Chains A and B, each alone.
Chain A
Amino acid sequence: MAKPVITAYDWVPWFAKGQVRDLRVRWALEEAGQAYDVRYLPQGCQKEPPHRALQPFGQVPTFEQDGLELFESGAIVLHIAETWGVMLPDDAGGKARAIEWAFAALNTVEPPLMDYAIATLFEEDKPWSKPRLPSVIARIEERLDELAKRLGDSEWLDGAFSAGDLLMVAVLRMVKGTPMAKGRDTLAAYVARGEARPAFQRALAAQLAGFTGTPPKGYEFLDQPPAEQA
C-alpha cells in the first residue's frame, strides 16, 4: 500500500489552530502507526476546482490512497480504523457500539458546539448572537450532562479506547475555555486522557508544524489572538 496523502491548510486563524479537522485523521493514522504525506493548501485553494473534485464542500481533510479518495473526517477515521484494524473491538457488537459513539460525536454533540462557535467567533458582532447565546449554551449543556452521566467514572465510552472516543474527544476539545466547561470535571478528564495519548501529541504537533503559510490579504488580524486573550 502506498502512503496515504491527506490535505490540510498552511494557515488558519489563531482560534482554529489545533482544531482543524485534519487533526482527527492525523490522530487516527498515528494510532494506526501509519506514516502519511500532507498536501498543504493555502487559504482559498480549498474552494478551487482541483480540490473541489476531491471534496465537494471545499473543506479539509481529504484522504487518498491507492486510488481511493475520501472526504468527511468521520468517514476517513472509520476507514482507517477498519483498514488498519485499530480502535475498533474485534466482536461485531462492540464494533457497532464504537461506531455508534463516532456518530454520536459528530451528529449529536458537535452540531450544537458548532452553533456556539459560530455565535462567539464568526457572528460575535451580530445583533442576534448575544440574546440567542443562552439557548445555545442550554442545548450544549443538556448534551454534555447526558454524556457525562453515561461516561460515569469510566476511562472511555465503551471499553477500550475506540474511534468513537477519538472523535468524541476531538469534538469536546471545543468546550475548553467556554462557560460550558465549568463543573464538568469528568469530561475534562476524559478529554485530557485523549490528549495525553502519544498518538494525539504527535498529530497535534504535526498539524501545528504545518502552519507555515501567511494569512490571506485582509486576514492578518486573525493570525494571533487579541492581546487580552494571548
Chain B
Amino acid sequence: MTRPLLTAYNWSPDKGAGLVRDMRVRWALEEVGQPYHVRHLNWGEQKQPAHRARHPFGQVPTYEEGGLVLFESGAIILHIAQTRPGLFPEDEDGKARAAEWMFAALNTVEPVVWDLVMARVLERDKPWFEERLPAVEARLRERLDELSVRLGEAAWLDGAFSAGDLLMVQVLRHLGATGILHSYPNLAAYVARGEARPAFARALAALRAGLTGDPPADWPY
C-alpha cells in the first residue's frame, strides 16, 4: 500500500496546540501504525484552485492514497478505521456504535463547542457579546452534562478506545482555553486519557514539526 498523503498548514493560528483538523487524521494514522507524508500549505493556499480541486470548501486536511482523494476529517478517519485494524471493534454492531459516536462528536457536540470558541475569538468586541454568551454556554453545558452522564466512570464511550473517542476527545480539546471542563472532572480526565496515548503524542509532535511557516502579513491577532 502506498503511503497516504495529507495536507496541513505550515503555520496555524492555534500556535501548535494541535487543534487544526489534520491533527485528528494524524492521530488516527498513528493509532493504526500507518506512516504518511504531508504536503504543507502556506496559509491562504487552501483557498487556491489547486487545493480546491482536492477540497471544495478550501480547508485541511485532505487525504490521498492511490487514486483516492478525500476531504472531511470524519470521513477520512472512518475510511482509515474501515481499512486498518485499531480504531473500530471487530463486530458489525460495535462498528456501527463507534461510528455513532463519531457523528455525535461532529454533529451534536462540535457545533455547540465551536459556537463558544468562535464567539470568544470573533465576537468579543461586539456590544452584545457579553449578553449572548450565557445562551451559548447554556447550549454547550446541556450537551456536556449529557455526555458526562453517559460516560460516567468509563474510560471510553463504548468499550475500547475507538474512532468515536478520538473525535470526541479532539472536539473537547477545543474547550481547553475556556476552562469549562473544570466543571466536568470525568470529561477532563477523558480528554487527558486521550492525550496520554502515545499515538496522540506522536501526532502532535509531527504536527508541530511541520509548523515552519510564517503568519500571513495581514493576520490581525
**CB neighbours of B114 from chain A (8 A):** 111
Within the assembled complex, what's the spacing in Å between the Cα atoms of A76 and B100? 8
**CB neighbours of A146 from chain B (8 A):** 52, 56-58
Whether B123 and A103, one on each chain, are in contact in the complex, defined by CB atoms closer than 8 angstroms, is no
In the assembled complex, how far is the CB of residue A169 from the closest CB belonging to chain B, in whole angstroms? Answer: 16
Size of the B side of the interface (Cβ < 8 Å), in residues, is 45
Within the assembled complex, what's the spacing in Å between the Cα atoms of A173 and B63? 29
Within the assembled complex, what's the spacing in Å between the Cα atoms of A57 and B111? 14
Interface flag for B78 (CB, 8 Å): yes
In the assembled complex, how far is the CB of residue B35 from the closest CB belonging to chain A, in whole angstroms? Answer: 20
- The residue from B67, B96, B146 contacting A79, defined by CB atoms under 8 A apart: B96
Interface flag for A58 (CB, 8 Å): yes
**CB neighbours of B108 from chain A (8 A):** 57, 59, 72
Whether B102 and A75, one on each chain, are in contact in the complex, defined by CB atoms closer than 8 angstroms, is yes
Whether B75 and A74, one on each chain, are in contact in the complex, defined by CB atoms closer than 8 angstroms, is no
In the assembled complex, how far is the CB of residue B97 from the closest CB belonging to chain A, in whole angstroms? Answer: 7
**Scoring A residues 99 to 113 as 1 if CB is less than 8 Å from chain B, else 0, what string do you get?**
110111011101100
Chain A at the B interface: mostly helix, strand, loop or mixed? helix
Name B21's closest neighbour in chain A (CB-CB). Answer: A107
- Which positions 59-108 of chain A face chain B at CB distance < 8 Å? 59, 67-68, 70-76, 78-79, 92-93, 96-97, 99-100, 102-104, 106-108
Q: Given A99-B75, A123-B135, A126-B132, do A57 and B58 touch, yes or no (CB 8 Å)?
A: no
A-B contact pairs, 29 of them (CB 8 A): A57-B108, A58-B146, A73-B103, A74-B103, A75-B96, A78-B99, A93-B66, A93-B67, A96-B68, A96-B75, A96-B79, A97-B68, A99-B78, A99-B79, A100-B70, A100-B72, A103-B73, A103-B74, A103-B106, A104-B75, A107-B106, A111-B110, A111-B111, A115-B115, A127-B128, A131-B128, A146-B52, A146-B56, A149-B56
